[in-house]
Amino acid sequence: MAGDAETSSLGQPVEIGKIEQELKKLWRESEGAMTRASLINLAIYSEEAGSLERNTQLISKITESHACRALVIGVDRKSKEDRVDAWINAHCHMTRAGSKQICSEQISFLLEGPCTKFLPSIVFSHLDSDLPLYLWWQDEFHDPMDAQLWAWVDRLIFDSQTWKKFATQMQLVETAQQEAKQRIVLCDLNWTRLDKVRYAIAQFFDHPASHHHFSKMESVSVDFAPGFKSTAILLIGWLAGQLNWKTNQQQMNGSCRFLDANKRKIDIELHERPGTPIGKVVLNSTEVKFCVTPAKCGDLLEISRSGQLEAAIPQMMPAQSNNAVDLITQELLRGGPRRVYLSAVNSVRPLL
């Protein structure tokens, strides 16, 4: 149960049936000084204690660049007593001209006990109409999935890095997508976490003259931080999906093997080491070594290629932030159905 100290940042307590009425009153009282803005509905679901306050702080930062109606949902499924509480709030940020504040609404819900099964009707009746719904699900998914819930969702955001059983969770997510008739776009923050590393690797092969190395790859090694093995495997999945590699040897002691389209073997080595989620990445062809590694300054990647007749000349590229606000902000900027992500998952599904 949330106490007063925990809910002080959530804003004004309101009755469930008077949420819209109280929001209109809030804007009437602030007319002229503030302008309400909303491009999407962003709902955040969590079952962790204290998540309402923590996610309110995240929304405050997210709305600096993404105006939305935020629905912050805290759930306690284990409680035996029903409880439904709600709060309203507004996150306001000055325009660049500095003349007016642009504000995003937040509605917070605390659901406890058996009434949590009514989450779709209690919460999603308060969506900003005609705007898409992005649902950020911060916990593991439950079986069975609520078909009524997925009927509302346009984009489902999750982080597979936290999953204990990837195959089970992915099956539930894909079931939700099927029940929504493929309308839901799957947005994995564990994939977003790989953006800058993937860009750094891809730039080695921007010019068609470098494409002959694809058929000459011999090995790939990836360093990853404790807890981020699935992130490293997704990176391998991206390479496999793009280069048409197939699993040849299942994972053993951090190693596995793929076959390319010509049945050539590519050895994969995964090493757990302290540091950033993805550390040093090395691709070895028969002629050239391609290397991407975190720079010592921490916010850059050092990239280089070298060979028998080619000395390494390091260059710098931006590194990926692992901050939750940065990851979700990157994700909210994107469109499209995530076909490359789904290809990567399918390429390494047996390894995850």
DSSP 35-68: EE--SEEEEEEE-STTHHHHHHHHHHHHTTT--E
User: Which of 1, 18, 2 minimizes the C-alpha distance to 10?
Assistant: 2
SS3 270: strand
Band of residue 97 on the pLDDT scale cut at 50, 70, 90: low
Length of the chain counted residue by residue = 352
Phi, psi values for residue 306, rounded to 5°:
-150, 160
Strands 185-188 and 155-158: parallel
- Tokens 């069975």 appear where? 144
Coil, strand, or helix at residue 165? coil
Position with higher pLDDT, 179 vs 326: 326
Interval 325-352 mean pLDDT? 93
Evaluate whether 345 touches 230 at the Cβ level (below 8 Å).
no
The 10s digit of each residue's pLDDT in 26-77 is 888 777 677 888 999 999 999 999 999 999 999 999 999 999 999 999 999 9
Residue predicted with more confidence, 8 or 105: 105
Helix (H, G, I), strand (E, B) or coil at 287: coil
DSSP class of 31? B
User: Does 135 have pLDDT greater than 60?
Assistant: yes
* End-to-end Cα spacing for the chain: 36
Q: Residue 122 pLDDT more than 60?
A: yes
* Mean of pLDDT over the chain: 91
The pLDDT value given to residue 32: 67
SS3 162: helix
